[in-house]
Amino acid sequence: MTPTLIIVPGLGDSGPQHWQTLWQHKFGAERVRQDDPENPVPEVWAARLHEVIGATPGELVLVAHSAGVATVAHWARLSGGEDRDRVRGALLVAPADPEQAGMAELHPELLALAPLPLEELPFPALLVYSENDPYCTPERAELLAEAWGAAAVSAGESGHLNVDSGHGDWPDGEILLSEALHAWTPPAVVRF
């Protein structure tokens, strides 16, 4: 059975040309829609993710971008039980680091997401980061991946991996997702 993707956007809910929105339509994914997508509150955003997970049957894969990555980390810390067990894995793309120096000037609303939880995630994850992302240094991205027990992969100098950095449909991301899904799928049991 193919898992259902759950899109977890960051600030602004990832606009119509963002790869998350394009993937939502392409793959029939579910989407987390925050009441106030410009002002993250960890407990509120995590609760909305929890609602969407609870309303979506079967196995799930979380596909988070930017502040959505922090939402997944906060949700994993705050939630428990069978809903977490249904998450086969998470694709965590271009995390926004609310603890990064200068974030108050870049996006002060992201400061509300600090501190980021550093507990290991209860499901496999792949963190994709950029070497020149203004919202998270490569070193911090690798530290987050290690803390979360996630594999990490650099997308090179790709900005914030969004529309502004030229990532509309993002076919390379689809390849990474496909490879991660393959790695997260347990081998079939053959009975004789």
Q: Residue 117: is it exposed, middle or buried by C-beta count within 10 angstroms (0-12/13-18/19+)?
A: buried
Does residue 116 form part of some domain?
A: yes
Give domain status of residue 192, yes or no. Answer: no
Two structure tokens written together for 134: 């203004």
* pLDDT of res. 186: 66
Domains in the chain: how many in total?
1
- Mean pLDDT on 36-54: 96
Q: How far is CA 140 from the centre of its chain?
A: 16
Is 191 part of a structural domain of the chain?
A: no
Take residue 91 and report the two structure tokens written for it.
Answer: 């694709």
C-alpha to C-alpha distance for 97 and 73, rounded to whole angstroms: 12
Secondary structure (DSSP) of 51-87: HHHHHS-S-EEEEEETHHHHHHHHHHHH--SHHHHTE
Q: What is the pLDDT of residues 9-41, one digit of tens each?
A: 999 999 999 999 999 999 999 999 999 999 999
DSSP for 94-106, written as a single string: S---TTSTTHHHH
Beta bridge partners of 31: 7
In a domain, 109, yes or no: yes
pLDDT digits (tens, 9 = 90+) for 91-111: 999 999 999 988 889 899 999
Domain residues for the domain of 180 are: 4-184
User: In this structure, is residue 74 part of a structural domain?
Assistant: yes
- pTM value? 0.94
Residue at 53 is within a domain:
yes
CATH code, domain with 121: 3.40.50.1820
Q: Answer whether 34's CB lies under 8 Å from 61's CB.
A: no
189 in a structural domain: no
CA–CA distance, 117 with 173 (Å, rounded to integer): 25
